[in-house]
Structure 1
Amino acid sequence: MRPTSALAAALALASGALAGKIRYLGVAIPGIDFGCDIDGSCPTDTSSVPLLSYKGGDGAGQMKHFAEDDGLNVFRISATWQFVTNNTVDGKLDELNWGSYNKVIDACLVTGAWCMIDMHNFARYNGGIIGQGGVEDEVFVNLWVQIAKYYEKNDKIIFGLMNEPHDLDVNIWAQTCQKVVTAIREAGATSQMILLPATNFASVGTYVDSGSAAALGAITNPDNSTDLLYFDVHKYLDINNSGSHVECTTDNVQAFEDFATWLRDNKRQAIISETGASMDPSCMTDFCAQNKAISANSDVYIGFVGWGAGSFDTSYILTLTPLGEPGNYTDNKLMEQCILDQFTMDSKYAPTPTSISTATETGTSTPTPDPSSTSGNSPSSTTPSADKQTPSSSPKANPVNDPSSDTNNSSKDGNKDGKSAAPSGAKALSGSLLLTGAAFGYMMVAF
């Protein structure tokens, strides 16, 4: 690197560290998506509702800890098309399964955080690409219209249209997304954020070159504005960008810097809704560096969600699941050092605990499972257990604890493991002053 460019980079980093405050910082709460393949085949019998009453992970307790102890304010709640409609592609939201999902959403909402719906189907349904040989656009639109109407009065809900599209025509995909955005807004959900996902698993490194940025950037609300429409960005650091390897081999700093420049030049913003790493020394270096770069560009990267907690146990390769027992949780070192220590939260977006649930906000009663009766096709995991218990420690007894490459949330663009702790004002200021001093020190030497 030439001295002039090094100086510019140092000054930019110092400036970003002093001024950068991210709006939305949080953790993914997976479980219902367990078993999903990248061809959009998502069996419901492997789903694990991340609540202790369903014998899944302690999603409610985790979110409470992250919000109250760490100040985090957004949680990404995974779902699948098959789960929420009980394997009826063009059907209504299933009373039992949708009720189970909404119990997780309600647990999120009571923390005062924003709650991100993650439709985890890879732009597919059982092998067919939406609007490109698979189910028609109208079927996908109908799914989102039902969801939008359910949440239309709750602006703490974020609509993540689709997890990690891949191997498709991005221009046609953008047309599909435009239909969904228009339908969501016309259904009455006008105050919610909507995330627009790119092809190639929404990878930040190919957002521009793949044509995704331009195609998705043309999507507008019915009033022709782009208000509350954000790019949905993912990235992992292992050898194949899948998040399924222990070692981190990819330096993502430049990729995030490059896309930040594009966003700034085009007056757009993005939310990084999935990224993670293991606690291998290589990842403690590279993941922390990646997140420092993201934080320094928080004017365009307004949100960050680490993968993942929920029904993952603490031995999962990318685990951000807190250590300890319900009511007495502590963060692991990945969460503390690479997430919490790298970001400064904007206090204007601090979570405020509330008793308001989705049912109260929408005026619609939330369907709740009846333990005494289950439909024949409903996954057994949606039936609450009378006694609360954590997932089995045996990988064979509970596949949630040891997802294979084709049962992982994302066997393509990423994996998950993290440790995040909101830095104190003193710590953030100290780091900023150090960076500023380094920058000016460099100036003295250079000149």
Structure 2
Amino acid sequence: MRFSTSFIAAAGLSASVFAAPITEVAIDDCDSEPSNSSAAAVSSTVAPSVAVPVTESLPSPTSIVISSTTAPASEAPSSIAVSVTRSNTAVAAVAAATGTSNSTGAVQWLGVNESGAEFGQANIPGVLGTDYIWPLTATIDTLTGKGMNIFRIPFLMERLAQGTMTAALDTTYLGDLSSLVSHITAAGAYAVLDPHNFGRYGGSVFTSTSDFQTFWKNVATEFKTDDKVIFDCNNEFHDMPSNQLVADLNQACIDGVRAAGATTQYVFVEGTSYTGAWTWTTSGNSDVMGNLTDPSDKIVYEMHQYLDSDGSGTSDVCVSSTIGAERVAEATKWLQANGKKGIIGEFAGGANDVCKSAVTGLLDSLVAASDVWMGAMWWGGGPWWGDYIFSFEPEAGTGYVAYIDTLTKYI
């Protein structure tokens, strides 16, 4: 992601936290890619705005609810309150949402990206509570209580499979991920496993389809019995050696998941050029991604869409009140023409009237084409965003305050 000074200020961050920029790889072929990136890239390099002391990993799955209260930047909390109760109201709300077929004005899935575990890219494996944090289960309860039914969990491949992507999975990091996933799916919602790596491992582009297939076989083995787990192959490929490699890596992901015996879950695939919906038919994605195959026939094409001038999600100024609908139009046509399913895996808009109209237009477009669009997930939630322009952390996050009522109309 290419950061502007204004974005850094808007996100409530200082320039010094950007210590580990994503490696840019020069390419020299006919597949030119736009220079813009995504707001999600911020989480790969951002140090936490509040360091919450955590001395042990999360307890066993389905047993915890962590307080979502976050101290201001100048005052870190001395402890994290943990409760062993679960919100029955949240469970009921999500069960109702997921058990109801699409109706006019609703999408099948609506939820939030829950960041934290992918923070601190410069420090691998890093220290929990200092370099990275897991999303709060209390936040999940609040959002499922509103009817949200899907949560994308960004994490780092380097923390889960340390040293090499074919390594055995780290038991501590995996245990914490599993605890969060179990909490989400026990509430009736879907948990999307998102290796937030941009087609990189250890700072370099990975090209081995065999290694990538092994990584996904190892991951899927751990989650193959939970039908509400979704496997998201990799976040926002960009500046890759070729578009065909991106397609081949996605196919390796699908093959690895199915080889693990995970045959009932969805697999989300992402394209190059930061998987932008607005560039799907011009970036080369439409030429190669449609050839992916899955014996379970559960591929969903994940696209991301921001509404600022360069589509990067680094500004809270939207191009126009109609830009949301405009930027998904061509992708919608491609999905329909090719008989594919899609989801907007990341989207957001600023807390202003123009952006609210644009976001509404985007969601209205998904509803109108519910034959191909399965839903959308806001970027981004998580306890360490502070006053980030799109923060969806209850109750005070800028995005949450501005958009919770708007988004819940589509559930």
TM-score (norm 1): 0.63
Superposed, 1:250-269 pairs within 5 Å as 251-269=323-341
The residue that corresponds to 1:332 in the other structure is 401
Contiguous gaps of at least 5 residues in structure 2: 1-101
Q: What whole-Å deviation, never above 9, does each CA across 1:174-232 have from its counterpart, x for those lacking one? A: 122212212211220100100110100000011122221331211112x4x6x110101
Q: Does 1:235 align with 2:305?
A: yes
The residue that corresponds to 1:320 in the other structure is 392
User: RMSD over aligned Cα, in angstroms?
Assistant: 2.6
Q: What whole-Å deviation, never above 9, does each CA across 1:219-261 have from its counterpart, x for those lacking one? A: 112x4x6x11010110111233222222222613122122112
CA distance in structure 2 between the partners assigned to 1:296 and 1:42 by the alignment: 44
The residue that corresponds to 1:245 in the other structure is 315
* Of 170, 173, 189, the match for 2:243: 170
* Cα deviation, residue 55, structure 1: 9.2
The residue that corresponds to 2:196 in the other structure is 120
CA distance in structure 2 between the partners assigned to 1:315 and 1:263 by the alignment: 36
Contiguous gaps of at least 5 residues in structure 1: 1-16, 346-447
Contact 1:85 1:97 in 2 (8 A): no
Contact 1:35 1:46 in 2 (8 A): no
The residue that corresponds to 1:62 in the other structure is 139
Alpha carbons of 1:42 and 1:163: their partners in 2 closer, same or farther (altered >3 Å)? Answer: farther
* Partner SS for 1:252: helix
* Of 353, 356, 367, the match for 1:284: 356
* Cα deviation, residue 268, structure 1: 0.9
Q: Does 1:299 align with 2:376?
A: no
Superposed, 1:107-256 pairs within 5 Å as 107-131=183-207, 136-168=208-240, 169-221=242-294, 223=295, 227-249=297-319, 251-256=323-328
CA distance in structure 2 between the partners assigned to 1:146 and 1:71 by the alignment: 32
* Of 32, 36, 54, the match for 2:117: 32
The residue that corresponds to 1:398 in the other structure is none
* Cα deviation, residue 59, structure 1: 2.2
Alpha carbons of 1:176 and 1:160: their partners in 2 closer, same or farther (altered >3 Å)? Answer: same
* Of 70, 74, 78, the match for 2:150: 74
* Partner SS for 2:380: coil
* Cα deviation, residue 289, structure 1: 2.3
* Cα deviation, residue 47, structure 1: 6.4
**Which structure ranks higher in relative contact order (CA pairs < 8 Å, sequence separation ≥ 6)?**
1
Q: Does 1:45 align with 2:150?
A: no
Higher alpha-carbon Rg: 1
CA distance in structure 2 between the partners assigned to 1:177 and 1:109 by the alignment: 25
Q: What whole-Å deviation, never above 9, does each CA across 1:60-80 have from its counterpart, x for those lacking one? A: 111111112x11111111111
Alpha carbons of 1:42 and 1:294: their partners in 2 closer, same or farther (altered >3 Å)? Answer: farther
Contact 2:116 2:132 in 1 (8 A): no
* Cα deviation, residue 318, structure 1: 0.6
The one-letter code of the counterpart of 1:66 is: L
Q: What whole-Å deviation, never above 9, does each CA across 1:99-127 have from its counterpart, x for those lacking one? A: 12222212212211010001100011133
CA distance in structure 2 between the partners assigned to 1:159 and 1:126 by the alignment: 21
* Cα deviation, residue 300, structure 1: 1.1
CA distance in structure 2 between the partners assigned to 1:317 and 1:159 by the alignment: 28
Contact 2:306 2:313 in 1 (8 A): yes
Contact 2:117 2:132 in 1 (8 A): no
Superposed, 1:397-412 pairs within 5 Å as none
Alpha carbons of 1:237 and 1:48: their partners in 2 closer, same or farther (altered >3 Å)? Answer: farther
* Partner SS for 1:235: strand
